[in-house]
Structure 1
Amino acid sequence: MRILSIVVFSFWLIGNQCAWSSVTQQEMLTYVGESHGIREYKLNNQLQILLKPDTSSTELAVNMIYHHGRKNEQLGLTELNHVLEHYLVQRSEETHKNNHPDLKFRGTGITSSDFTYYRSVLKNETDLAPFIEMERERMSQFKDHLPYLRQSVDEVDEELTAAHQNKTYTEYCLMLKDLFRNEAYGVNPVGEKQDLRRITLQDLKQYWSEHYRPDRATLLIAGNFDLPSTLALITEKFSSVPLPQQVSKKFEYQQLPQFGEREFIIRKHDAKPVVWVGYRVPQLNSSEYAAVLMAGTFISPTTDTSIWQKSLLDAKKAESVDAYTFPFVHGSAFMLRIRLSTEQQLAELRKFLTQQEKNLALQVTDKMINAQKAELLDDLNKKDISPKQFVESIAPHVVSGDWQSYYRLRDEIENMNAVKYRQSLQRWFRPENRTLGIFLDPRDSQPLTTPKPKRNG
């Protein structure tokens, strides 16, 4: 089938040489604009193209981003997207082995809640043409191959087994399920096994046909490459990919209010007392997302300005405090993981949280915020100059429909002050927006007493 496809495509090129010469690149390609060194284009089939050339770079990274993810899965087939990602990676590996055995690249596939992407780092620009051809094939052709399906299911099963053996993974998955209950982001981000074995080739093909289409994809290239020749290559390879006749279904997300504080308790053997504190926070491209990132730096004890350091750790009220941010397109989550020494500390922690939710934003000063700006901006700038990290970190912003929010985030951090920070936190750092996840060992609730030794005589 692959040889036949290549032959058919060759005849298509020969038979359409006249038409190709009469249809100029300008008619197939629209230049949208440029910002922060990124040039945006759109093909006639609605494929979005983002190119960031940098001749001083020693890397060349490519990321094909599809605007769908775990939130798009259906009940009963909750691992379909993940299995399909593995399936298509295997397909590309076979194409690579058969057609381009000398092509060297480091690649990976990622399934997230909002997107799926295939990111690769190439050795040099000469490898770009065969790689673009492989990406075109991934989008335009689906090959039924039962061994691929079986291997993909086994790989996903192995990944899920390893993930669920990690206590932290298990804990934050349960937190997200509660924070986003009855919503798309309530789906376990790591994944669950119960649907794996019922997935068929027809299921994969149907999902592929609905979502692997040019109008739901973005091709992103960053690093050392020639802009005109790369643009011509992309136009040649992808402009012939037809836009499916069926209308692309736009994902509709309804964000529900929490309606008050929530709490759940899980008792499990060998569970060190841990309390997760979760809050629903603004989405990734919101102007308030900068405050979410900054809140993590103020709470986490890894920074010098941690305002919880003395209150919890130095006072021996907790063993550790970690802050986590889960950025989503339609609404994010901010969580704290607080490890306790004993269950008896839980009551005091509840009291501490109530006090801190009222005072946390008030304690932050402009001096403290300015001290954190340099660290946050330095981290973002390092990612921006590395092609590999850039194509990964901008992907969620691309899928949000506003890739320039990736750069606005820097401006929002730079312009942050105590007043703006306080206003943002007071909107979401409050009890009615809080979920507590409490993980305890049932044996901690019933302390064992050591029997007194009997005296002889």
Structure 2
Amino acid sequence: LEQHEAPVVSMMMYANVGAAYEADGKTGIAHYLEHLAFKGTSRIGTRNYPEEKKALDQLDVLFDKILAAEAAGDQAKIAELNEQFKTVQAEADAYVEQNKFGQIVEQSGGTGLNATTAADATRYFYNLPSNKLELWFSLESERFLDPVFREFYKEKEVILEERRMRVDNSPIGQMVERFSEVAFTTNPYRRPVIGYQEDLRKATRADVKTFFDTYYGPSNLIAAVVGDVDPNQVKQWAEAYFGRYQSRTHPDQLVVSEAPQTETRSYTLELVSQPWYLEGYHRPGINDPDHVVYGMIDSILTGGRTARLYKALVEPQIALDIGSANGFPGDKQPTILLLYGLTAPGHTVEELAVGLEAELQRLQTEPVDTATLDRVKTQSRAGLLSQLDSNEGMASLLAEYEAKTGDWRNVFEEIQAIEAVSAADVQRVAQATFRPENRTVGKLISAGDSAPTDEAPTDEALEEA
């Protein structure tokens, strides 16, 4: 898409695969792959790839032996193999040119080099001066044509530490992970994007390669280029660089068959934390006609200081904070509208639940007033237009809508869909959704009188939970 306001270009490579596509027992592989995609190829990031490959292959063999020794409980053998592993790891490290991929991008004026893993997708993105755009085609095609997955075992420790920080040592992280497990029974959204600790520990480089070979074929990758570009030149470069890819069998579509919930599900965790309350309701995915209606409901309840839950719970100091995740943990499949709150000192999660229930009942019994509906429509339009106003936001949305809805043009149809939402739509969807049998409740109870306040989960943390 051409945007000639400044001589810069934003690029998004959208892999149409996320953690929801992993097999049970192999959680976290999509996230591993995101990390390893920055480690280079057989030509980028190595001083001597033939020799490095020998060491990498030897590490894989040793790790398999370590897992076997652990299964047998042979502590002496484990210690011996770990020493051998350290020696070979040092040999492999000697061939690595650290962060070579990132250095090439930065030396060419690139900014914002990053990636994210979610339930539905994995995104790789950065910006370049427009006269360096061909470099993106070269680097991006190379890293998904010839990945090496070097430094896998070192990255394993990074990811395990990331899990410890975000989940194992975080009360709200544990709370969110448990919520998915209770709310879903067969939907793969029940598993954490970051992966379970034991799966992460036992993962192998072969697991990553199998996942890559299955899901990173050309038919499952979507590239968006937005900025100061010549479309004809972009097409030529795309054919020259990505035309090197061999076609692969398109991966099977993810089939989700979650049975309708028939009664309220609930759980309680007792941890060293201030009390939190989570309440979520099943809702359809992004391709349902009522998708934008759920956005309106979310804004009515939690969209800033004028939102109903803020006025009902935060202003009277029943809650210190309230929030939501509309489409948790993804929205390509049937999903969850999640509402949460942190209780204020001297108040309980039960009080927060009562206040929340009153506002949900109000949505079902009273048509939303015109002023409120107009306000949330304005907020929704402004939020969408703000994202579309930047090269980065445009690239992200074009790729996402192409992947999730089948046509990137649908993002521009959402403005009209927002405008068409009526008070009757809001009431109808609220009545269909906010039913006790469709509800999952999570309570985080303080295990101590002086529990620290755990910060509210960010959108990124919820997406990766």
Assess if the C-alpha contact under 8 Å between 1:284 and 1:332 holds in 2.
no
Alpha-carbon deviation of 1:373?
A: 1.6
Distance 1:202 1:345 in 2: 49
Q: Which moved more, 1:272-281 or 1:99-108?
A: 99-108
Residue 258 of structure 2 aligns with which residue?
255
Residue 154 of structure 1 aligns with which residue?
157
SS of 1:255's equivalent in the other structure is: coil
Alpha-carbon deviation of 1:296?
A: 2.2
- Cα-to-partner distance string for 1:282-327 (whole Å, 9 max, x where unaligned): 21232212222222222227232x2234433344433332222234
User: Are the structure 2 counterparts of residues 189 and 199 from structure 1 closer, same or farther at C-alpha, using a change threshold of 3 Å?
Assistant: closer
The one-letter code matched in structure 2 to 1:357 is L
Alignment counterpart, residue 65 of structure 1, candidates 10, 14, 31: 14
Q: Which moved more, 1:423-432 or 1:313-322?
A: 313-322
Distance 1:313 1:211 in 2: 45
Residue 36 of structure 1 aligns with which residue?
none
Residue 136 of structure 2 aligns with which residue?
131
Alpha-carbon deviation of 1:210?
A: 0.9
User: Are the structure 2 counterparts of residues 425 and 143 from structure 1 closer, same or farther at C-alpha, using a change threshold of 3 Å?
Assistant: same
Alpha-carbon deviation of 1:344?
A: 6.5
Residue 421 of structure 1 aligns with which residue?
426
Assess if the C-alpha contact under 8 Å between 2:226 and 2:391 holds in 1.
yes
SS of 1:178's equivalent in the other structure is: helix
User: Are the structure 2 counterparts of residues 178 and 57 from structure 1 closer, same or farther at C-alpha, using a change threshold of 3 Å?
Assistant: farther
Residue 4 of structure 2 aligns with which residue?
55
Residue 177 of structure 2 aligns with which residue?
173
Alignment counterpart, residue 108 of structure 2, candidates 89, 100, 103: 103
- Cα-to-partner distance string for 1:45-71 (whole Å, 9 max, x where unaligned): xxxxxxx11112453111111111101
Residue 126 of structure 2 aligns with which residue?
120
Provide the TM-score with structure 1 as the length reference.
0.78
Distance 1:309 1:201 in 2: 47
Assess if the C-alpha contact under 8 Å between 1:173 and 1:189 holds in 2.
no
Assess if the C-alpha contact under 8 Å between 2:367 and 2:424 holds in 1.
no
Alignment counterpart, residue 371 of structure 1, candidates 365, 371, 375: 375
Assess if the C-alpha contact under 8 Å between 1:329 and 1:399 holds in 2.
no
Assess if the C-alpha contact under 8 Å between 1:136 and 1:237 holds in 2.
yes
Residue 241 of structure 1 aligns with which residue?
245
Distance 1:144 1:271 in 2: 38
Assess if the C-alpha contact under 8 Å between 2:163 and 2:197 holds in 1.
yes
Distance 1:83 1:208 in 2: 11
Q: For the aligned residues, what is the CA RMSD?
A: 2.5
- Structure 1 portions without partners, runs of 5+: 1-51, 445-457
Question: Pairwise mapping of residues 33-432 of structure 1 onto structure 2 (< 5 A)?
Answer: 52-91=1-40, 94=45, 96=101, 102-106=107-111, 107-122=113-128, 124-143=129-148, 145=150, 148-164=151-167, 165-244=169-248, 246=249, 248-268=251-271, 270-300=272-302, 302-304=304-306, 306-325=307-326, 326=328, 327-341=330-344, 345-361=348-364, 362-402=366-406, 403-432=408-437
Q: How high is the sequence identity, in percent, across the aligned residues?
A: 18
How many residue pairs align between the two structures? Answer: 387
Alpha-carbon deviation of 1:228?
A: 0.8
Alpha-carbon deviation of 1:397?
A: 2.4
User: Are the structure 2 counterparts of residues 98 and 61 from structure 1 closer, same or farther at C-alpha, using a change threshold of 3 Å?
Assistant: closer
Q: Which moved more, 1:65-74 or 1:323-332?
A: 323-332
Alpha-carbon deviation of 1:376?
A: 1.6
User: Are the structure 2 counterparts of residues 421 and 102 from structure 1 closer, same or farther at C-alpha, using a change threshold of 3 Å?
Assistant: same
Distance 1:423 1:371 in 2: 19
**Structure with more relative contact order (C-alpha pairs < 8 Å, separation 6 or more):** 2
- Structure 2 portions without partners, runs of 5+: 46-99, 450-465
Distance 1:53 1:320 in 2: 41
SS of 1:53's equivalent in the other structure is: coil
Assess if the C-alpha contact under 8 Å between 1:60 and 1:221 holds in 2.
yes
**Are 2:441 and 1:436 aligned?**
yes
Distance 1:128 1:313 in 2: 48
Alpha-carbon deviation of 1:96?
A: 3.6
Provide the TM-score with structure 2 as the length reference.
0.77
Distance 2:255 2:4 in 1: 41
Structure whose alpha-carbon radius of gyration is higher = 1
- Cα-to-partner distance string for 1:2-47 (whole Å, 9 max, x where unaligned): xxxxxxxxxxxxxxxxxxxxxxxxxxxxxxxxxxxxxxxxxxxxxx
The one-letter code matched in structure 2 to 1:368 is T
Distance 1:141 1:310 in 2: 54
Q: Which moved more, 1:390-399 or 1:181-190?
A: 390-399
Residue 62 of structure 2 aligns with which residue?
none
Distance 2:342 2:166 in 1: 20
Assess if the C-alpha contact under 8 Å between 2:217 and 2:250 holds in 1.
no
SS of 1:239's equivalent in the other structure is: helix
Residue 63 of structure 2 aligns with which residue?
none
SS of 1:91's equivalent in the other structure is: coil
Distance 1:163 1:234 in 2: 38
Assess if the C-alpha contact under 8 Å between 2:37 and 2:149 holds in 1.
no
Distance 1:374 1:248 in 2: 40
Distance 1:314 1:66 in 2: 43
User: Are the structure 2 counterparts of residues 138 and 117 from structure 1 closer, same or farther at C-alpha, using a change threshold of 3 Å?
Assistant: same
Distance 2:429 2:25 in 1: 38
Assess if the C-alpha contact under 8 Å between 1:276 and 1:438 holds in 2.
yes
The one-letter code matched in structure 2 to 1:53 is E
User: Are the structure 2 counterparts of residues 108 and 354 from structure 1 closer, same or farther at C-alpha, using a change threshold of 3 Å?
Assistant: closer
Assess if the C-alpha contact under 8 Å between 1:253 and 1:330 holds in 2.
yes
- Cα-to-partner distance string for 1:100-153 (whole Å, 9 max, x where unaligned): 78423231121111111211111x1221112211111122223364xx212321
Alpha-carbon deviation of 1:358?
A: 2.7
Residue 10 of structure 1 aligns with which residue?
none
Distance 2:187 2:181 in 1: 9
User: Are the structure 2 counterparts of residues 121 and 260 from structure 1 closer, same or farther at C-alpha, using a change threshold of 3 Å?
Assistant: same
